[in-house]
Structure 1
Amino acid sequence: MGEVADMYTQDGTVDMKGNPAVKKGTGNWRACPYILANECCERLAYYGMSTNLVNYMKTRLGQGNSVAANNVTNWSGTCYITPLIGAFLADAYMGRYWTIASFMIIYIIGLALLTMASSVKGLVPSCDGSGTCHPTEPQTAAVFVALYLIALGTGGIKPCVSSFGADQFDENDEREQKSKSSFFNWFYFSINIGALVASTVLVYVQTHVGWGWGFGIPAVVMAIAVVSFFIGTPLYRHQRPGGSPITRIAQVLVASARKWSVAVPADKAQLHETLDKESGIEGSRKLEHTDQFGCLDKAAVVTAEDSAAASPWRLCTVTQVEELKSVVRLLPIWATGIVFAAVYGQMSTMFVLQGNTLDQRMGPRFSIPSATLSMVDTISVIIWVPIYDRVIVPAVRSVTGRPRGFTQLQRMGIGLVISIFSMVAAGVLDIVRLRAVARHGLYGDKDTVPISIFWQVPQYFIIGCAEVFTFVGQLEFFYDQAPDAMRSLCSALSLTTVALGNYLSTVLVTIVTRITTRHGRLGWIPDNLNRGHLDYFFWLLAVLSLLNFLVYLLMAKWYKYKKTAEYPDAKGERNQEH
């Protein structure tokens, strides 16, 4: 019987036909190249289109700076909200494989329409001799329909691919569990390879060759991503969809409210649970009872009025209650990621504005655009992922004895600390910059400070290092700690920190500007930064990051790692991580 059990995965995954997945023929690293190639191509297509999109809005659609920037921001924010839709469908009804497959088709349709809008006669706006374009309403509409089809498409891919890749590793197999942690590192590595090619090669094509080619290449690359994904189909393991997670959460809340006056028994074994090995939720293992949020346990208390076939709106299983507890426990950790995302967002805003005032020359004939320096962040990630996976993890593992080296919470916390130093580096550089401004009297709006833009490299490089700890740690943490039947939804939840971080940054800039410009003062962030104090804004973010880290320490100490019924307390990394 033991040999037969070892043939199949023990985490509930199945093959394409719905049979228990055979370990030797499915999943593990053999399935990952197709998933990683898909992600690399999809991110190359996404960043190849989005990185220079604001310039397309300005040159082809004739929009002003503020209108173009707002349109890009709104679209980008939508790309981080739609994952909630795709994740819900994946967890509830379609499964991750079919959700990815379906939304990739929508994605390609959007890219194809965008390519046509930038290359097909009649859809391309007419431009006069001065280069000013005059799009018609249908031409503008075609572009926005294409963009929001892409936003919908990415909503089904972004939250599911990382979870689907992690599904290929059996959590009950010690060797495969160790490989799962490495998968998240290489998944983020593949994202940044795609982003690096997009921000260099594709931006050059769009600028010097044309928008038709600049958007057509991402469409072709996305087609390659689709082919790569489908080639690996026979090798994939699948987690079965468990029905609507929102319904199950509502049932626990309603059942616990209906039994508010009922006492929870001291012996938690008396709480309602299925007698089978499997939980009552399709594709989900049983979860052990935890003591936190005891009021929710009332939903699983069996009373005299409850029959064997009681409605789930009155009587829930322990596993269903623990699902909700798991999500509630994730929320404080999720919230502490918003400040980090705000710091990360400075690369596309304040770092660029700071770089605009510096000497951008590379030799006598070439200048580097300040926005291009963001590739240092990507290069930093590409450097740090192998170092973390091949050097840091084995070294820490030899000390702690944990398969992952650091716990997931420790890893994210280290990234939060590192991000503080990025703001410190940016602030110190701005102090030096302002001293140079004062020394040379460079207070004009167009004056260039005689400091090389390459002094910004440290702040970009440090953020890349922080990403490897915090963002990759979040990917792994939200997948691992989510209930089996809610993993896509929790992965989508982690992505929303990026959108909320951008919104937080906008709010901070608005508040700082309003307060510091009172009584006729120029403020910290005027149009002419040579007369401002951008360094104060970086110090503000550094202080907020420090306070956020202190809150994170409290939340991490309070957090209790999820325990499935298959993991006795004496085994498994999760229990070591307490």
Structure 2
Amino acid sequence: MEYIGILIRLQKWVNLFSGYILWLMMVYLTDVWELKLIHAAAIINIWMGFIKILPIVFAYLADAFLGNSFVVLFSSFSSMIGLGLIWMSTPPILGKSNGNCTQYKPECIGEQQKQLFYSGLVFTALGMAALSACYAPFAQEQAEEAAASNSTRRVGWCRTHLVAFAALLIAAFVKPWAILFGICAILGVVSFFFCLIFRVCLGVGNPAPRPQGSPLTTIFRVLFVAASKSFCSRPKDTNELYENSDDSLRELLPHTNGLRCLDKAAIIEAEPVLEQQEKKRWSLCKVTEVEETKLFIRTIPIWMTFIVCGFVSSLGATYFLEQANHLDRRVGKAKAPLILFYWFYDHFRKSFTKGFLPTMASSTRRYISRIGIAAAMIYATLACIAAAKIETRRLGVVKSHDLIDKPNERVPMTVFWLLFQFVLLGCHDGIHRLSAYGLSLDQAPKSMVKYFNLFARGFFGLGVMGSVVLVDIVGKISEKRTGTNWFQTTLNASRLDNYYWVLASLGAVNLVIYIVAACFYRYRVPRDGQLAEGLLPVGFMDDDHI
């Protein structure tokens, strides 16, 4: 229905606008709070990592208990609360009432404001994760009822770019952080109340689809039943394992010889009778359910290689942004806004996704998703190499102008040197996201395509969070080997170029590990049909702006 389309587009635009503003959070923490470089980066990366990991939890809750529409409503509510708390944590809002100053200085940040800020990050992470989990399924549910016309899609495309352009202008010309976060908070309130009105008032005659259960429950059941029957002997004839071919809604999978310990979940015991065993879902599983679990377990080694990709992706909103904040941004008499680099990153991320799509739809599609992931890893390595060389150049300028102990001084080097690493990082993230989805579409059972994609992003997010631990380990090793920690309080005193070389080396090693894992992976024959743009989930890439 039309009002549902309005709601979906509104959620998309608010998420896009807020993503642009919140991307600058690293600058806020280092300039206003004056946190140490790695402390600020740790806060941002833990926050972004949770945004990518938690969708697995919300997708399970939506499928098993709550439904997509309720989780989308919760997402809007949580984002509204989180954005409001972040706005309230800025010094001008509650400074006087708490007896603090109202200037953007670290001494004006009291304990209560810190608590509000961290609580706001938690709520925004929950809101964005919930939206990421259920935005595409909720939009798909509505698209099945009423398909939008091509003209409507073109209008939506234009309006999306207008929202991005508006965020770009506001972030460029509006300097007070309280106003920037306040605009996001107002949009969050508007989005929530629109969502609530549409859900309560207009959805009375159109009840939301009831949850049908989560495929993750099947995996838990198979593991539990296989463990409970660990002392049972497997039949020599696999045809004696339990299967119900009458279930026309499920894609039947043939038995495979790998991970045979899980076959015990499909063993039919002598007692009680089969009809009674079928009624107890946690005592007997079908062969198809066992094979779905095997597919999930076999894919884990592939997903684990995504952790290093997350290490690299974590650089964009942290160390790359901090580099840009300390370089010369002058273009004639004007200044290039920092948010411009996020626009470049996001533009190339989506452009390379669309550019890689026709390749994914080719006749060699069964190989393209695997090659695409490898290509994304190559882009990740190239991004680190470019970042290392540019940072070495920047540090040379810092030393030649004696700016090591002057962290607030602008380095006389144009900020546009950083375009190379932002563009390469955008290419990596875009191709990786599409290729991971293509692999999920090809290899996952139909009922688990969404979860395979979410787990791929979850392992990616684990890498974003894990970068905090990696930085700590690299710092301690560098201090032990050289006597100086590569990560100092300020950017000018740090040696990020060496860290980038470490990531480039890890990326190269990870590429080799991925190729080995991909060669040993037991692939299914891809489903019929091509991965054309129309077969991508509704809202693909619209739910991921952080």
TM-score band w.r.t. shorter chain: 0.7 to 0.9
Q: 1:272 to 1:190 in 2, by over 3 A?
A: farther
User: Equivalent residue for 1:546?
Assistant: 508
- 1:270 and 2:240 correspond: yes
Q: 1:274 to 1:191 in 2, by over 3 A?
A: farther
Rounded to whole Å, the distance in 2 between the matches of 1:84 and 1:77 is 12
1:134 and 1:80 map into 2 onto residues whose CA distance is 32
Q: CA deviation at 1:322?
A: 2.1
Summarize the Cα distance change of 1:252–1:531 in structure 2 as closer, same or farther, 3 Å threshold: closer
Secondary structure (helix, strand or coil) at the match of 1:290 reads coil
Render the CA deviation track for 1:319-345: whole Å, top value 9, x for unaligned: 221232222123122211111111111
Q: What is the alpha-carbon distance in structure 1 between the residues aligned to residue 228 and residue 366 of structure 2?
A: 45
Distance 2:389 2:511 in 1: 21
SS in structure 2 at match of 1:273: coil
Match of 1:12 in 2: none
CA distance in 1, matches of 2:93, 2:404: 44
Go from structure 1 to structure 2 and tell me whether the alpha carbon gap of 1:321 and 1:470 turns closer, same or farther (over 3 Å shift). Answer: same
1:254 is aligned to: 224
Could you tell me how far 1:461 is from its partner in structure 2?
A: 0.8
Alpha-carbon deviation of 1:275? 3.7
What does 1:81-92 correspond to in 2, within 5 Å?
81-92=53-64
2-side partners of 1:192 and 1:270: how far apart?
Answer: 58
Identity of aligned residues (%): 26
Aligned positions of 1:55-204 closer than 5 A: 64=35, 72-111=44-83, 128=101, 144-165=118-139, 198=167, 201-202=170-171, 204=173
1:232 and 1:344 map into 2 onto residues whose CA distance is 41
Instruction: Compute the displacement of 1:219 (Å).
Output: 1.6
> What residue number does 2:349 align with?
381
**Alpha-carbon contact 2:93-2:178 (below 8 Å) kept:** no
Q: Which of residues 466, 475, 484 in structure 2 aligns to 1:522?
A: 484
2: distance between equivalents of 1:337 and 1:163?
24
Structure 2 partner of 1:37: 9
Structure 1 residues 293-319: Cα deviation after superposition (integer angstroms, max 9, x where no partner): 222112112242352221333321112
- Secondary structure at 1:349's aligned position in 2? helix
> Are the equivalent residues in 2 in contact too, given 1:167–1:238 (CA < 8 A)?
no
CA offsets 1:490-537 (integer angstroms, 9 cap, x no match): 444333234322233222322222222237743544456667643332
Contact kept? 2:102, 2:108, Cα under 8 Å: no
Deviations 1:82-111 (A, max 9, x none): 323311112222333443234334433544
Change (3 A) 1:552 1:90: same
How many Å separate the matches in 2 of 1:243 and 1:333? 26
Secondary structure (helix, strand or coil) at the match of 1:414 reads helix
In 1: Cα distance, 2:464 partner to 2:380 partner:
16
Distance change in 2, residues 1:90/1:407 (3 Å): farther
Go from structure 1 to structure 2 and tell me whether the alpha carbon gap of 1:489 and 1:255 turns closer, same or farther (over 3 Å shift).
Answer: same
Query: Are 1:218 and 2:218 an aligned pair?
Result: no
CA distance in structure 1 between the partners assigned to 2:501 and 2:530 by the alignment: 38
Give the Å deviation of 1:209: 7.8
Question: Which one-letter code corresponds to 1:504 in the other structure?
Answer: G
Rounded to whole Å, the distance in 2 between the matches of 1:237 and 1:467 is 37
Q: Give the alignment of 1:278-317 within 5 angstroms.
A: 278=248, 284-305=250-271, 307-308=273-274, 309-310=276-277, 311-317=280-286
Q: Distance in 1 between matches of 2:432 and 2:484?
A: 36
Mapped partners of 1:386, 1:465: distance in 2: 11
Moved more, 206-215 or 538-547: 206-215
| Distance (whole Å) between structure 2 residues aligned to residue 460 and residue 128 of structure 1 | 37
TM-superposed CA distance for 1:458, in Å, is: 1.3
2:328 aligned residue: 359
Q: Identify the residue that residue 426 of structure 2 maps to in structure 1.
A: 464
Shift in Å at residue 350 of structure 1?
3.0
Question: What do the CA deviations read for 1:244-285 (whole angstroms, capped 9, x no partner)?
Answer: 555433332233234335454455343211241336xxxx54
**Structure 2 contact 45–467 (Cα < 8 Å) conserved:** no
Equivalent pair of 1:352/1:371 in contact (CA under 8 Å): no
**Using the alignment, how far apart are the partners of 1:506 and 1:157 within structure 2?**
25
- TM-score where L is the length of structure 2: 0.76
Distance 2:366 2:529 in 1: 14
SS in 2 for 1:210: helix
| Structure 1 residue matching 2:346: 3-state secondary structure | helix
Contact 1:35/1:165 (<8 A) preserved = no
- Counterparts of residues 333-344 of structure 1 (less than 5 Å): 333-344=302-313
* CA gap 1:531/1:121 in 2 versus in 1, 3 angstroms: closer
Closer/same/farther in 2, CA of residues 275 and 444 from structure 1, 3 Å limit: closer
Q: Secondary structure at the match of 2:285?
A: coil
Q: 1:412 aligns with which of 366, 373, 378?
A: 373
TM-score using structure 1 length: 0.72
- Cα–Cα, structure 1 residues 193 and 161, in superposed 2: closer, same or farther, change >3 Å? farther
Corresponding residue of 1:328: 297
For 1:237 and 1:466, the matched residues in 2 are separated by: 41
Q: Quote how far apart the aligned CAs of 1:432 are.
A: 3.9
Distance 2:490 2:83 in 1: 38
1:501 aligns with 463
Question: What is the DSSP-based 3-state SS (H/G/I as helix, E as strand, rest coil) of the residue aligned with 2:243?
Answer: coil
Please say if residues 48 and 215 of structure 1, whose CA atoms lie closer than 8 Å, have aligned partners that are also in contact. Answer: no
Aligned partner of residue 517 in structure 1, secondary structure = helix
Secondary structure (helix, strand or coil) at the match of 2:314 reads: helix
Residues 215/314 of structure 1: CA separation in 2 closer, same or farther (3 Å cut)? closer
Deviation at 1:545, TM superposition (A): 0.8
Compute the displacement of 1:384 (Å): 2.8
Residue among 475, 482, 485 paired with 1:513: 475
| Structure 2 CA distance for aligned equivalents of residues 291 and 96 of structure 1 | 37
Which deviates more, 371-380 or 520-529?
A: 520-529
